[in-house]
C-alpha cells in the first residue's frame, strides 16, 4: 500500500492496480491540487475542498463515489461511513462523514473535516481496531492541534497521519501537533509505503506526509 498526501484532507491510497481517493479538492476550489483517476472516491463534506469527485474519473470510466454514512463493499474493499459534524466551509450543511476502510489486512480511518471536541455517539464504531488514522490538525473549522492529538489517541491507532496543515494552520499547526504527540523529531516524507507486517509493533507513531502540490 502506498499513501500520498495532496493538501487539505486529500489522500491517495494505492494498492496494486486499485486507487482510492479521499476528499479530493474540487476544480471549483480556489486551492489548486492534484488530479488523478481513482477507482473509489470518498467524500466527507460538501465543501469544494473535499467534494472533488469531478477530478477523479479516468477518461470515460467514472469513479465509484461514496459521499455519506452507510456500509459499502466495492471490489472486496469494505467501507463504513459515520455521521459527524464540521465547522469548515461556507454555505454547506456542516455534515462530515468519517470513513473507515478495510483493505490489505489493515483498517484505515479518515476523519475528514472533523471539528467536534469529542467523538459523537453516531461515530463510536469508527474507532475500533484502527491501524492508520488520518486526522485534521489545522484549526479554523477543523480540529486544532491540541484537540486533534486528544482525539487521535482515543482511536489507539498504530500510525497517526496529520492532515489539513499545509493549507490551513501551516507549519505552526504541525509543530504544535508534533509537540503534543511527543514527536518533535519527525520529518516529512514524500510517501508512506507499508504492509500489514510493518505496523504490528507500532503504537500511535506519527508519520508526516509532505504535500505533493
Q: Over 90: is that where the pLDDT of 197 sits?
A: yes
Q: Over 70: is that where the pLDDT of 170 sits?
A: no
Q: Over 70: is that where the pLDDT of 91 sits?
A: no
Residue with cell 459515520: 82
For the chain, domain boundaries: 2-206
Q: Provide the pLDDT for residue 167.
A: 60
Is-contact 159 131, C-beta < 8 A? yes
Q: Over 60: is that where the pLDDT of 168 sits?
A: no
180-206 average pLDDT score: 95
Distances in Å between the Cα of 116 and the Cα atoms of 31, 69, 122, 143, 206 are 24, 17, 12, 7, 21
Instruction: Characterise 117 by phi-psi region: left (phi > 0), alpha (psi -120 to 50), beta (else).
Output: alpha
Domain 2-206 has CATH 3.60.15.10: yes
- Res. 100 pLDDT band, cuts 50 70 90: very high
Q: Provide the pLDDT for residue 166.
A: 79
Q: CA nearest 6: which of 41, 29, 36, 28?
A: 36
- pLDDT, one tens digit per residue, over 175-189 is 999 999 999 999 999
- Res. 59 pLDDT band, cuts 50 70 90: confident
197-203 average pLDDT score: 93
Positive or negative, the CA dihedral 131, 151, 82, 8 is negative
Q: How far apart are CA 1 and CA 50, in angstroms?
A: 22
Task: State the average pLDDT for the chain.
Answer: 92
93 vs 201: which has the higher pLDDT: 201
Q: What are phi and psi of 157, to 5 degrees?
A: -80, 165
- For the chain, give the percent of residues with pLDDT over 70: 97
Q: How far apart are CA 87 and CA 115, in angstroms?
A: 6
Amino acid at each position: 500500500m502506498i499513501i500520498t498526501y495532496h493538501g487539505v484532507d486529500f489522500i491517495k491510497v494505492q494498492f496494486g492496480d486499485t486507487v482510492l481517493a479521499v476528499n479530493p479538492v474540487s476544480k471549483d476550489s480556489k486551492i489548486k491540487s492534484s488530479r488523478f483517476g481513482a477507482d473509489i472516491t470518498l467524500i466527507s463534506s460538501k465543501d469544494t475542498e473535499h467534494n472533488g469527485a469531478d477530478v477523479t474519473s479516468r477518461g470515460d470510466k467514472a469513479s465509484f463515489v461514496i459521499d455519506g454514512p452507510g456500509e459499502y463493499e466495492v471490489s472486496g474493499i469494505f467501507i463504513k461511513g459515520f455521521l459527524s459534524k464540521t465547522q469548515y466551509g461556507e454555505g454547506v450543511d456542516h455534515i462530515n462523514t468519517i470513513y473507515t476502510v478495510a483493505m490489505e489486512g489493515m483498517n484505515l480511518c479518515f476523519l475528514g473535516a472533523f471539528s467536534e471536541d469529542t467523538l459523537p455517539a453516531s461515530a463510536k464504531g469508527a474507532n475500533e481496531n484502527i491501524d492508520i488514522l488520518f486526522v485534521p490538525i489545522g484549526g479554523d473549522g477543523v480540529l486544532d492541534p491540541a484537540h486533534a492529538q486528544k482525539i487521535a489517541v482515543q482511536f489507539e491507532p498504530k500510525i497517526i497521519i496529520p492532515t489539513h496543515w499545509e493549507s490551513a494552520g501551516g507549519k505552526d499547526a504541525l509543530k504544535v501537533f508534533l509537540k503534543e504527540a511527543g514527536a518533535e523529531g519527525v520529518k516529512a516524507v514524500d510517501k508512506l509505503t507499508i504492509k500489514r507486517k510493518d505496523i504490528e509493533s507500532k503504537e500511535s507513531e506519527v508519520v508526516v506526509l509532505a504535500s505533493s502540490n
